[in-house]
Amino acid sequence: MRQYRNRLTLIMLTLIGLSMLAAGLAMVTVFKQSHIQLLEDNMVREIRLLQTMMEFPDTTGTDAVAYYTDRSLQLEAVSDARVTFILKDGKVIGDSESDPLTMDNHAYREEMVQAMKEGRGITIRRSHTLQQDMLYVALPVQAGVNFDGFIRLSVSLKEVDEGVKQGWIVMGIGLLVLFLIAAFVSYRVAKGLTSPLEKITRVARRISRLEYDARVNIHRKDEIGQLAQAINGMADSLQTQLRTIRDNEDLLQSVLNNMTGGIVMVNGAGHIMLVNRAAERMLGIQAEVITGKSYRELKQHYELMKLMEEGLESRNSFHEERNIYYPKEAIILLDGVTMMQEEEQDTYRGMLFLLQDVSDIRRLERMRSEFVANVSHELKTPLAAVKGFAETLLGGGVKDEKTSRSFLQIIYDESERLNRLIGDILELSKIESKRIQMEYSPVHLATFFDTISEMMRTVAEKKRINLELDIPEELFMEGDEDKLRQIFMNLLSNAIIYTQEGGRVHLTARERHHAGDADDTVEFIVQDSGIGIPKKDLPRIFERFYRVDKARSRGSGGTGLGLSIVKHLVDLHHGTIKVESELGIGSSFIMEFPILQETDAEES
């Protein structure tokens, strides 16, 4: 605050000094101009007196230079001014200070040119001969035919400069005295302002450090009191606005971070200004690294970058899909939205790019199309058989009762197959649409598999297949018994169908304990000694209507939906399923279910 007091004092002294200096300059200028004007008037009168009183002999004579030089010396002694006689062509024929014969032509001197034009020439110029500022006054003079030229008088301005110097001395003394008085008064005034301003300064510094709860405790009615109230009001306003801004920022950041779609904002200069978390995950980038850089930094996603470039250049919105391959392969729907200044609609701000991963949507659309195509194909086959044999019977072309019964049996079998296909489609539709209700209850696995084995053993015995079950008597788990029966009936049925006569189908169950916080599980293995599955088909074995051997599957009455239903039912039990197989050796379906199910809102 001492610096403030000194600065205030200095400002006041500076203002006073500048005012005094300006007044002094004005006074000196007026004094100098008035003195010079007086000299000019006197010199003009003297020249006119000379024109009247002096004799002017012929300037062409041999002694003309001597005469006029002598006269100029006499006149200088009387008038105390340099006297110069100049002819109309600028030739000097007499001068009281220099030899006229050595002096140059004066026709183009400033005062001579002015005298020719205006009848009087006056100028101030520094004399190189005398090294002083001189006042030159020239008047045209004509004395009959003897003299036609100019008389010029010049006087030194040394006396004027000395008068100005004395004025400066007097003004300087007065300014010094005024400075001393002003310094004393300014110090007293500044000292009276220092204490409250120190308080205000401390509070202002606290506010600048974001301590918006700081307040000035000054109760005065003068300008300082009003300043203190203004500081307190500003702090209140800043505190309220900052709270609102932080709340809005938190809300906006929360919205951006929790959006499932990606957002990339690029300004008009092509620099990335904003990237949310979803965009980071989709594009494999980091916001803190990419923000502030050019959108061309997204060169690993070349097609997206080119779309952004086209949008920024055309400044038009667009809606396009592109494939990306990093960090994973995906189909991205990119919407480009032009950003304009709200107040000024013509002001271009850049573009906002909205990214949505539509890989799952496109995959589901493709699966739906394939499903419709497969269902149509699967339905046509039994319907064609039923229609063909029915038309043959109706046409009366078959007279043999044995052949007729054979045709009717085929119609019956195909209708049964059609019925199973429709049932499996409806079941799969219910499972996939989450409309199926799961009813969990404790299941005693030994008793559960006894009932299944009774149903499957008859089928196995027809092909002389040895069906073996290894289920611990004490083993329990929680699950939907009907859905579990559907899982194992499908798996055991497939194992029997694809195992040659005299083969073996083996089902085992065992409890597995996991380290740490993981829950205990039950592992099931359905193993057969059948024809096996090629390795290339293993990744697609759980797809709808996918068959490894289409001819054999259709001949066995399979719909191609059994394993897909199994996979969905295992997922509903929060379990896992995988398959291991070797051609000609057999296949093993390995499942793992939690012993206890965690019910959620969808399943309750």
pLDDT tens sequence across 137-171: 999 988 877 888 898 888 887 777 777 777 778 77
| Domain co-membership, 15 together with 155 | yes
Q: Is residue 553 over pLDDT 60? A: no
| Domain co-membership, 410 together with 499 | no
For helices 2-53 and 158-208, the axis angle rounded to 10 degrees is 160
Strands (E), 169-308: 262-267, 272-275
The whole-number average pLDDT for the span 298-302 is 88
Supply the Cα-derived Rg of the chain in whole angstroms: 57
Instruction: Give me the phi and psi of 10, to 5 degrees please.
Output: -65, -40
| Domain co-membership, 150 together with 283 | no
Number of domains in the chain: 4
587 pLDDT tier (thresholds 50, 70, 90): very high
Greater pLDDT, 323 or 401? 323
What integer pLDDT is reported at residue 555 of this predicted model? 47
* Residue 240 within any structural domain of the chain: no
Q: Is residue 568 over pLDDT 70? A: yes
Q: If DSSP codes are grouped into helix, strand and coil, which group holds residue 416?
A: helix
* Residue 450 within any structural domain of the chain: yes
235 pLDDT tier (thresholds 50, 70, 90): confident
What CATH number should be reported for the domain holding residue 514?
Answer: 3.30.565.10
Q: If DSSP codes are grouped into helix, strand and coil, which group holds residue 515?
A: coil
Full residue range of the structural domain in which residue 505 is found: 437-594
What integer pLDDT is reported at residue 53 of this predicted model? 82
Return the DSSP state at 545: T
The whole-number average pLDDT for the span 70-93 is 87
CA distances from 378 to 120, 415, 427, 491, 559 (A): 125, 12, 16, 21, 8
Distance CA 115, CA 87 (A): 13
Of 163, 197, 213, at which residue does a domain stop?
163
**In contact, 332 and 357? CB cutoff 8 Å:** yes
Tell me whether strands 348-357 and 441-444 are parallel, antiparallel or unpaired: unpaired
* Residue 187 within any structural domain of the chain: no
| Domain co-membership, 348 together with 371 | no
| Domain co-membership, 268 together with 337 | yes
Q: State the amino acid at position 575 in one-letter form.
A: G
Of 431, 461, 476, at which residue does a domain stop?
431
Average pLDDT, the chain: 83
| Domain co-membership, 29 together with 133 | yes
Greater pLDDT, 395 or 175? 395
Distance CA 324, CA 329 (A): 6
Distance CA 79, CA 173 (A): 36
Among the residue ranges 152-166, 321-335, 465-479, the one predicted with the least confidence is: 152-166
Among the residue ranges 454-458, 469-473, 505-509, the one predicted with the least confidence is: 454-458
Q: Is residue 551 over pLDDT 50? A: no
* Residue 305 within any structural domain of the chain: yes
| Domain co-membership, 145 together with 8 | yes
Q: Is residue 399 over pLDDT 80? A: no
Distance CA 528, CA 580 (A): 11
pLDDT digits (tens, 9 = 90+) for 417-458: 777 777 777 777 777 666 678 889 999 999 999 999 988 888
- For residue 209, what are the contacts with CB-CB under 8 A and spacing of at least 6? none
* Residue 226 within any structural domain of the chain: no
Of 378, 407, 431, at which residue does a domain stop?
431
| Domain co-membership, 400 together with 483 | no
Q: If DSSP codes are grouped into helix, strand and coil, which group holds residue 18?
A: helix
| Domain co-membership, 531 together with 503 | yes
Distance CA 394, CA 142 (A): 155
| Domain co-membership, 277 together with 391 | no
Strands of the sheet with 272-275, listed across from one edge: 272-275, 262-267, 348-357, 330-340, 318-324
The first and second tokens of residue 44, run together, are 């003009």
| Domain co-membership, 572 together with 519 | yes
Q: State the amino acid at position 510 in one-letter form.
A: R
Q: If DSSP codes are grouped into helix, strand and coil, which group holds residue 316?
A: coil
* Residue 81 within any structural domain of the chain: yes
Instruction: Give me the phi and psi of 499, to 5 degrees please.
Output: -110, 135
603 pLDDT tier (thresholds 50, 70, 90): very low
**In contact, 301 and 326? CB cutoff 8 Å:** yes
| Domain co-membership, 310 together with 377 | no
* Residue 14 within any structural domain of the chain: yes
